[in-house]
Chain A
């Protein structure tokens, strides 16, 4: 064993760790938050983030410095999620977008007239209602909303993450927000914050 090599390796590892701590560790909450919203289980989210960070450190020497570390970590998390954590049985019931569109068209005609009156309808809902509504969206739609509206990724970064064209991201976001709006509107109706005159279909 060559002591010089050992010192050199130890120095490199320390440097790598310091860089990792500076570049990757600050994004841990964002990854945990995303993992929690995708798995719905704190234990699964913790395991997923842990595996992601261990993999990321193993391959950190391959990470191109100066590029988007957060996006790189999210890609590792996605692959880990797809391989190990995605449980089809947990997928919410499929949402029929035509139903949502019909509902949306129905409320639109009345809401246009009272837009300002109903603008703050959702402020009466609990934050938990909003999280629950989001959790009920199909995975593809939930993913783009979290990445765009919660994590602030742009379309190109989201497209890279979900592995589809930018146009598909735009389309999914458009639909996802309408689906979420319809769900929140349902909650608001159930709780009496809006009149129940607007029915689906």
Chain B
């Protein structure tokens, strides 16, 4: 499979293709090919796993306070 096409699938998953005609064209190509369907599946799966399950850590309160107080002193 041509790497450009595979990377275009990544761009499709990320909503980075602005040409509406190309989006439809690409979706048709993907829907008619199991291998390309799998590529789209993997890209979407990992994207959603990362966005939903990677921990979003909060800045410790002590650091927030320390930053604010140092900025006031500048």
A-side interface residues toward B, CB under 8 Å? 17, 20, 25, 28-29, 31-33, 36-37, 42, 46, 49-50, 53-54, 57-58, 104, 108, 111-112, 115, 119, 122, 127, 130-131, 134, 145-146, 148-150, 152, 154-155, 170-171, 173-174, 177-178, 180-181, 184
Contacts and interface: CB of A to CB of B under 8 A. Distances in A.
Nearest to A32: B59
B71 A53 contact: yes
A68 B47 CA distance: 23
Interface residues of B, number: 38
B59 A28 contact: yes
A183 to B, nearest CB: 10
B32 interface: no
A77 B55 CA distance: 20
A50 B71 CA distance: 10
Contacts of A145: 46, 50
B63 A50 contact: yes
Contacts, number: 112
B50 A149 contact: yes
Given A130-B54, A155-B16, A46 B63 contact: yes
Given A17-B71, A32-B57, A178 B42 contact: yes
Contacts of A54: 67, 70-71, 74
Contacts of B60: 42, 46
Contact of B63 (A49, A154, A177): A49
A28 B67 contact: yes
A90 B64 CA distance: 27
A79 to B, nearest CB: 18
A174 B56 contact: no
